[in-house]
């Protein structure tokens, strides 16, 4: 198991090659580029098997930016992953504490039935708890628990199931976890069993809301979507159709995976569907939005 350090930053399309060259010149062993849907931004992740000198990296990059008339991007440094060269997966450092919830790995021997502990398989699926969007969702879910009693929850784009598991820990509710990737569904099922929540959490493979079981179980009093801005906007109509509206009882929608620049478009798409924005949180440049369906 090789120790990995990493740097993450977000830059414009016009300059991402320049920043990639910079990290390559500073002996980072692997660099990934990911186009962020619905924007002209790229996320760059640079990985190294030796600890980077933060002061040196920032100082050198500042000079490069000045010479090229570019703004200095924000750099996030991480020291929380080990790379397994046999199966090409990353192992994140656990446990991590997010509010009252403790996220740990499958090797942890603590009591899995404990209210605030979530155990996860450490595979390359979204939802380790380290990313800002997952973190934001977990914090707002804990805030909602103080005032809401959800009974029927949909987790659309569940990844490894972390938000479904958290919801099951916070409420005695029935939860349907959906993902379009079969690998994610299988890992979610394993995590459900690992946390002994098979009686209340189900995981199924589907592309969006096109599943008979969703139609059978709707309406939902909470829909969680930790995705990206483009699919959130495209699925806003389906979300509204599946959200509870019964007399004075209205459903909530928790959306995340949204960059600052994209948030207004995501908000507009859901407000146009009759939802009201009731909470907005921001961690670094990622936003988490909580909507509530309005009585007609």
Domains in the chain, ordered, with CATH? 2-81 (3.30.70.260), 131-293 (3.40.50.150)
Residue 187's φ and ψ, nearest 5 degrees, are: -65, -40
Mean pLDDT check: name the lowest of 8-17, 108-117, 124-133, 140-149. 108-117
Check residue 112 and give its pLDDT.
Answer: 47
Sheet (strand 96-98) strand order: 96-98, 101-105, 117-120
pTM as predicted: 0.72
Q: Let me know: does 96 contact 129? Beta carbons within 8 Å.
A: yes
pLDDT band per the 50, 70, 90 thresholds, residue 5: confident
Q: Comparing 85-94, 173-182, 251-260, which segment has the lowest mean pLDDT? A: 85-94
Task: Report the alpha-carbon distance of residue 46 to residue 27 in Å, rounded.
Answer: 10
* Whole-number Å distance between alpha carbons of 247 and 258: 31
The SS3 assignment for 234 reads helix
For residue 185, report the phi and psi dihedrals to the nearest 5 degrees: -65, -40
CA atoms within 13 A on the CB side of 225: 29
- Mean pLDDT across the chain, nearest whole number? 86
Do the beta carbons of residue 251 and residue 219 sit within 8 Å? yes
Percent of the chain topping pLDDT 90: 51
Question: Do residues 184 and 206 make contact, with C-beta atoms less than 8 angstroms apart?
Answer: no
pLDDT in tens, 16-64: 888 888 887 876 667 777 778 778 888 888 877 778 888 889 999 999 9
């Amino acid at each position: 198991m090789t120790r990995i350090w990493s740097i993450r930053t977000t830059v414009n399309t016009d300059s991402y090659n320049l920043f990639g060259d910079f990290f390559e010149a500073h002996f980072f062993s692997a660099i990934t580029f990911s186009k962020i849907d619905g924007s002209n931004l790229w996320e760059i992740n640079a990985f190294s098997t030796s600890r980077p000198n933060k002061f040196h990296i920032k100082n050198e990059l500042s000079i490069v930016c000045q010479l090229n008339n570019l703004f200095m991007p924000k750099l996030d440094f991480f020291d929380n992953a080990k790379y397994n060269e046999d199966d090409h997966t990353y192992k994140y450092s656990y446990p991590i504490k997010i509010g009252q919830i403790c996220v740990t790995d499958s090797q942890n021997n603590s009591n899995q039935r404990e209210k605030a502990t979530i155990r996860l398989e450490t595979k390359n699926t979204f939802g380790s708890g380290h990313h800002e969007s997952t973190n934001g969702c977990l914090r707002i879910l804990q805030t909602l628990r103080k005032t809401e009693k959800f009974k029927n929850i949909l987790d659309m784009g569940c990844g490894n199931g972390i938000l479904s598991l958290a919801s099951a820990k916070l409420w005695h509710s029935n939860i349907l976890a959906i993902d379009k990737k079969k690998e994610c569904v299988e890992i979610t099922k394993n995590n459900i069993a690992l946390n002994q929540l098979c009686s209340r959490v189900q995981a199924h493979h589907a592309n969006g809301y096109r599943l008979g079981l969703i139609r059978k179980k709707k309406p939902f009093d909470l829909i969680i979507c930790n995705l990206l801005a483009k699919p959130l906007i495209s699925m806003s109509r389906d979300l509204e159709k599946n959200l509870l509206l019964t007399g004075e009882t209205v459903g909530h929608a928790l959306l995340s995976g949204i960059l600052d620049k994209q948030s207004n478009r995501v908000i507009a798409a859901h407000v146009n569907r009759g939802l009201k924005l009731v909470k907005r949180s921001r961690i670094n440049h990622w936003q988490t939005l909580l909507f509530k369906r309005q009585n007609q």
